[in-house]
Chain A
Amino acid sequence: MSLVSLSNVSVRYGRLTAVRGVTFTLAEGEILFITGPNGAGKSSLLRAIAGVTPPAGGRIDFADHDITGRAPEDIARLGLSMVPEGRDVFGSLTIEENLMVGTGMHARERSWKARAANELEAVYATFPILKERRHTQAGLLSGGQQQMLVIGRALMTNPRLVAIDEPSLGLAPNITDQVYERLITLRAERRLTLLIVEQSSTRAMMVGGRMMLMRGGEILLDGDARALGQSEAMQAAYFGYGEH
């Protein structure tokens, strides 16, 4: 049974079409990289899945719910956490407050505080640096720490799927390595499904898993990351050779 399924999803901003009739399914526990050049529609697709930008057409299902056009906070509650591009931490809040946001929002039961504390400990175990600096304002953290914080924040709702937009953006390669190391550990520990948008395919080839190539709002290639990454079809599709 697939966790996510998209059929014929398109996203428009006014007269500009960013995503054209995208269809795919994603199974529980899978790791999927969506790569492609600037303006391919990768982020728009991610935002549509998370409900931040409602799709102009098509249908999106998540965990047996039709989530097409639902509000992002509802989708988050179903277990789909998005980490938006640009590491937008809540700058004036402390690390701990950043992590606590949203934990009590859909917990009607009285034990939400105890549960939030458990989640907090789990996130701190994955990212010890966050525990060390728990009372620091998030706006004062380095880029790598902010990236870890937003991933940690996404984990606080105990999601089934984490969708991350360009986790390596603006990070030094060794920091990116650290971030990916944690993501892969997390996936193994929690049986997480990961949907990661990256501009380049190098990271996908290193990590492995499934990879899709987007260009001009459409999915051109879909397959095993390592096999696809080495193929000539990949380069041709990425740069648009052979179309002229």
Chain B
Amino acid sequence: MARPSMLRRTIATPLILSALLVAFALVAWLAGSRPFNQTVIDIFLQVIFVVGLYTFVGNSGVISFGHIAFACLGGYVAAWTTIKPMMKGVSMPGLPDWLMQLEIPFWAAAVAGGGFAAFWALVFGAVLMRLSGIAASIATFAMLAMVNSIYSNWTSVTAATSSVVGIPIVRTVWPYLIAAIIVVFIAWAFAISRYGLALRAARDEPTAAAASGVDIPRVRLIAFVISGAIMGAGGALYAHSIGLVTPDTFYLGLTFTTLSMLVVGGIGSLSGAVLGVLILSSLIQGLRWLEAGVQVGASTIALPGGVQEIALGAVMILILMFRPAGIMGNSELTGRIARTEKPGEPGEN
């Protein structure tokens, strides 16, 4: 039977990636310092966002600038459902009564945020998935701008551009670690499912995929909804990591960080999505320490401020110069040394 052998071959990928994430969490736990703890939480959240983006972009090949909109939807769901009713009454008086009284645990808010984002992904996606190439990308950007504009102006339910505070803060790394691992497994399961397979085929050769019976807009929509749900859950957890949300938390800054981590890691690879985050985040953190100053013997060596951004940009350019398809390209970590494949047997043309 063909199927089980394929499964065995690839389940190593999410297991290896999870092990990497667990290693980061253990380092944070052993270090025990609060700022470092927060850094690792940020890394896990970023893993959720980049893997969520990969689920759609990686499999479909359609670049989306709009996925952070779903994180925004999820983040505000966390605000609506977990802040104390009294505080909600002050900052967001326009909420319906049942929502005003609601107070659910953070993990339930993450699930609800994912569900809410998935619903809107279905609505937007039904229209957007008929587009292709750059038109689709621009339309996703328009969606981001639309969501941002609504959340920046609907004062009575989103408090407009001012911060919504009072979201219960979750400070331990474990819930974020578990969420990131779950997301990695969801993304993996989708990529090897028949819909994931059909979508990746459509990315390589749309005409041939359609001729093989693939309904491209439909499989794209399925990926869009799943990735929207992941982004929504990530947005809710993000809100719980800092305790507040504003519409601009989920706008251009986060969009470009997320996209560039995916591009550096390798757009078509789940391993690339995770490694892109881990490598770039570690680099950013390392440069921050160097900027703050390192004790060498009696003297302190510190890089001038601003080096962090410049060095990060330079590293990204270098990676993309030497590996234009990203660190992982299209391949995945499988725990085996890749065999070099001969392009063809002799005499086989």
Contacts and interface: CB of A to CB of B under 8 A. Distances in A.
A105 B205 contact: no
Contacts of A81: 211-212
B198 A101 contact: yes
B213 A76 contact: yes
A83 B1 CA distance: 26
Given A103-B194, A117-B3, A142-B349, A82 B211 contact: yes
A96 B2 contact: yes
A72 B207 CA distance: 9
A50 interface: yes
Interface stretch (B101-109, B116-124, B315-323, B338-346): B338-346
Contacts of A116: 2-3
Interface in A68-90: 71-73, 76-77, 81-84, 88-90
Contact of A73 (B9, B205, B213): B213
Contacts of B268: 92
Q: How large is the interface on B (under 10, 10 to 19, 20 to 34, 35 or more residues)?
A: 20 to 34
Contacts of B2: 96, 100, 116-117, 120-121, 134
A52 B345 contact: no
A220 interface: no
A63 to B, nearest CB: 15
Contacts of A143: 344, 349
B30 interface: no
B343 A90 contact: no
Contact of A97 (B197, B210, B330): B197
B215 interface: yes
Interface in B248-291: 268
A145 B346 CA distance: 12
Interface string A97-135: 110111111100000110011001100000001000011
Contacts of B344: 141-143, 145
B208 interface: yes
Given A104-B194, A117-B1, A175-B348, A84 B213 contact: no
Contact of B341 (A98, A105, A140, A157): A140
A172 B200 contact: no
B198 A96 contact: no
Contacts of A120: 2
B348 A145 contact: yes
Contacts of B209: 90, 101-102
Interface in B303-349: 330, 341-345, 348-349
Interface of A: 50, 52, 71-73, 76-77, 81-84, 88-93, 96-98, 100-106, 112-113, 116-117, 120-121, 129, 134-137, 140-145, 150, 153-154, 156-157, 171-172, 175
What are the nearest 10 A-B pairs in CB distance?
A142-B344, A104-B194, A102-B212, A90-B204, A76-B213, A102-B213, A101-B201, A88-B205, A72-B210, A90-B201
